[in-house]
Amino acid sequence: MDASVTLSWFFEDEQKPAAEELLDRLDQHDIRTISLWRLELTNALLVAERRNRITPAYTAQVWKRLRALPIVLIDSGSPEDILKLARNHKLSAYDAAYLEAAWRLKTPIASLDAALSKAARKLRLLAPGF
């Protein structure tokens, strides 16, 4: 799961049915994502605060809710593997890091990012509904 899916849970104008369904199923299994996810969320929430979309109190509520979910952070792969995927699929290094983790763990990835979803679909790694 990348940050785009998580953010959609907390912003009404970004909600998507597949992301909501994933949230509803979190009690059935853990979600694994790379440690970059935490920084991406932090930055996105900070930007939303600065644009007056949310308050610092809302950001605190988001993190409180996220800490209660079964989300497991894993290490990113090697820079060489990430670079290879980024070059082959015209992704940012950040998006390629999510894709590399899905490839390495042989698990589907949930993303609302168009470029990452396209690359995951090519590799048959895109989670159903995304």
Q: What is the CATH number of the domain that holds 26?
A: 3.40.50.1010
Is 129 a member of any domain? no
Q: What is the pLDDT of residue 33?
A: 96
Q: How do residues 10-56 score in pLDDT, each as one tens digit?
A: 998 999 999 999 998 888 878 999 999 999 999 999 999 999 999 99
Q: What is the pLDDT of residue 114?
A: 97
Is 127 a member of any domain? no
Residue 22 DSSP SS3: helix
Q: What is the pLDDT of residue 26?
A: 85
Q: What is the pLDDT of residue 59?
A: 98
Those residues whose C-beta lies under 8 Å from the C-beta of residue 19, and which sit 6 or more positions away, are: 5, 8, 9, 110, 112
Range of the structural domain that residue 99 is part of: 3-122
Q: What is the pLDDT of residue 123?
A: 97
Q: How do residues 71-112 score in pLDDT, each as one tens digit?
A: 999 999 999 999 999 999 999 999 999 999 999 999 999 999
- Domain tally, the chain: 1
Q: What is the pLDDT of residue 124?
A: 97
Q: What is the pLDDT of residue 28?
A: 83
Q: What is the pTM of this model?
A: 0.91
Neighbours of 54 (CB within 10 A): 18
Q: What is the pLDDT of residue 11?
A: 95
Torsion angles phi and psi, residue 77, rounded to 5:
-80, -165
Is 56 a member of any domain? yes
Kind and range of the H or E run holding 100: helix 93-105
Q: What is the pLDDT of residue 55?
A: 98
Q: Are 117 and 18 in contact (CB under 8 A)?
A: no
**Lookup: tokens for 89:** 């699929």
Is 71 a member of any domain? yes
Is 128 a member of any domain? no
